[in-house]
Amino acid sequence: MTVRIVHYLNQFFAGEGGDEAAGMPLKAVDGPIRSGTLLQSILGDQGEVVGTLVCGDNYANEETEAALEAAGEALDRFKPDVVIAGPAFNAGRYGLACGEIGKLAESRGIRAVAAMHEENPGVAQHGRGVYILKTGESPTEMKEAVTHLAAFALKLARGEEIGPAAEEGYATRTRKIVRSPHPIARRAIDMLAAKVNGRPFQTEIPVILPDRVEPAPPIVDMSTARIALITTGGLIPRGNPERQTAGNPEQYYTYSIEGMTALDGNDWEAFHGGYFNGTASDNPNYILPLAQLRTLEDRGVVGSIYETLFTMPGVGTPVPKARRLGAQIAEELVAQEVDGALLVAT
């Protein structure tokens, strides 16, 4: 089977011109051009570059919707098995356009691969969604890059197993748990021996430092501020009428505290898999200090307490889910014109 390939190039690599041609709309031409002919010669009879999409970088990034619509029509016509985009090397706008084209192809069930330098913004923007092969910074490495693209595209088209990112040379998309030829204990003590003896070693887990959350500007006047109460301490109405879980919740729960002066241990309890619940069940104000906040409200230190409390058990919740729940709460607070929130962790 000859694999049908569509190749994407920007105006410069298609020979249409430099910055002065960067506004050109997307056009589709039959067969390979420029680096596409190199690609075709490497593919030999295993693949055929049936068409080439060419677009100006400015057009692709500023009129993305129109560019993608035109690209979609061309893909319908060419019916490729794989779309190859680039290589874009360190050209940022070109890299971003390659990622968009790859994403479009994948969304239509067409396999796609792009290539660019790892610091090209296209990698950060699209690397988790589209296979992006790593290249050098400049077109002097065109031949290596196109050879790599050709081999990878054939693998994709044939449904062959794609190996780990480091082995195949693409930017990380995700992590998988697989089997190593070496037992864990052996790997661990090999690494220790290397590290204490100053020999090189390779960590097995990349450290992705957490997002820094920029704090909101301070509240100027607390005496007029509306404050919401949020806890991840697993506060539930006594008896757990909603059948909440003790950890890793699917949702947060809200309860009205309107007119309530304190949380009463007869009405509320703690249900949380990560700490001793007895103390908080006796006095739920430990995990949501309503009593103390009401005192501050009475004294005029705090303007008012928002009438709905937010609660969930934080324990065992993966970051993406915690992000989603947090964003939902924040949205609700913004909509209700709440000025600040007291978040009680356990």
Partner 1 sequence: MRLDLATYPVKEVKLGSSTAYKDGVLEIDPDALAAEVLSDPRIATARIELASPGESVRIWPVRDVIEPRIKVEGPGVVYPGICDRPMTLVGSGRTNRLSGVSVVEVSEVQWHDAGHDWVWLFIDMLGPWGELNPYSGLFNICVVVEPHDELHVDVKNRAVHNASLTVSDRLAATTASAEPAEVRTYELKPSSPPLPKVVFIQGVHSSQGTSGNPNTFCTSIYGATHLELPRALHPNEMLDGAMTGPYRTAFATSWTLANNPLMEQLYDRHGVDFDFVGVIPMRTEWTRQDEKDWIGQETARLAYMMGADGAVVTWDAGGNEQVEVIRVVQACERMGIKAVFVTHEDISGSADGVSSLLEPVKELDALVSTGTIGGSDSMPAILPGVERVIGSPTKLVGDLRDESIPTAGPQKALPMYDDHYGFNNLIGMEY
Nearer to partner 1, 8 or 252 (CB): 252
Nearer to partner 1, 60 or 171 (CB): 171
Nearer to partner 1, 77 or 182 (CB): 182
Please identify which residue in 38, 42, 165, 329 interacts with partner 1, judged by CB under 8 A: 165
Nearer to partner 1, 26 or 315 (CB): 315
183 lies in the binding site for partner 1 (CB under 8 A) = yes
User: Shortest distance, CB of residue 178 to partner 1, whole angstroms?
Assistant: 6
Cis amide linkage into residue 32, ω under 30° from 0: no
Structure tokens at 45: 């009879």
Question: Helix crossing, 92-107 with 64-78: angle to 10°?
Answer: 50
Region binding partner 1 by CB under 8 A among candidate stretches 19-27, 32-40, 98-106, 207-215: 207-215
H/E run at residue 100:
helix 92-107
* Nearest-5° Cα angle at 284, 278 to 285: 135
Nearer to partner 1, 79 or 182 (CB): 182
196 lies in the binding site for partner 1 (CB under 8 A) = yes
342 lies in the binding site for partner 1 (CB under 8 A) = no
240 lies in the binding site for partner 1 (CB under 8 A) = yes
For residues 275 to 294, the per-residue mask of contacts with partner 1, x marking binding by CB under 8 A and - elsewhere, is xxxxx---------------
Report the Cα–Cα distance between both ends of the chain, in Å, rounded.
61
Please identify which residue in 62, 192, 298, 300 interacts with partner 1, judged by CB under 8 A: 192
208 lies in the binding site for partner 1 (CB under 8 A) = yes
Q: CA–CA separation, 321 vs 332, rounded Å?
A: 17
Residues 63-72: contacts with CB within 8 Å, 24+ apart? Answer: 63/25, 64/100, 66/25, 66/26, 67/25, 67/26, 67/97, 67/100, 68/100, 68/101, 68/104, 70/25, 70/26, 70/27, 70/28, 71/8, 71/26, 71/28, 71/101, 71/104, 72/104, 72/108
344 lies in the binding site for partner 1 (CB under 8 A) = no
Structure tokens at 124: 């950060």
Contact 306, 330 (CB under 8 A): no
Nearer to partner 1, 143 or 323 (CB): 323
Nearer to partner 1, 176 or 299 (CB): 176
Nearer to partner 1, 45 or 167 (CB): 167
CA 179 to chain centre: 26
User: Shortest distance, CB of residue 152 to partner 1, whole angstroms?
Assistant: 14
Please identify which residue in 182, 261, 304, 327 interacts with partner 1, judged by CB under 8 A: 182
Listed residue (48, 18, 54) closest to 34, CA to CA: 54
Region binding partner 1 by CB under 8 A among candidate stretches 168-176, 220-228, 258-266, 287-295: 168-176
CA 23 to chain centre: 30
Q: How far is CA 308 from CA 257, 258, 329, in A?
A: 6, 7, 11
Please identify which residue in 76, 179, 217, 334 interacts with partner 1, judged by CB under 8 A: 179
Under rule CB under 8 A, how many of the chain's residues touch partner 1?
A: 55
253-272 positions binding partner 1, by CB under 8 A: 272
Nearer to partner 1, 183 or 215 (CB): 183
Please identify which residue in 164, 216, 251, 327 interacts with partner 1, judged by CB under 8 A: 164
DSSP 213: P
Interface residues with partner 1 (CB under 8 A) are 128, 162, 164-166, 172-189, 191-193, 195-197, 201, 203-210, 240, 243, 245-246, 272-279, 315-316, 318-320
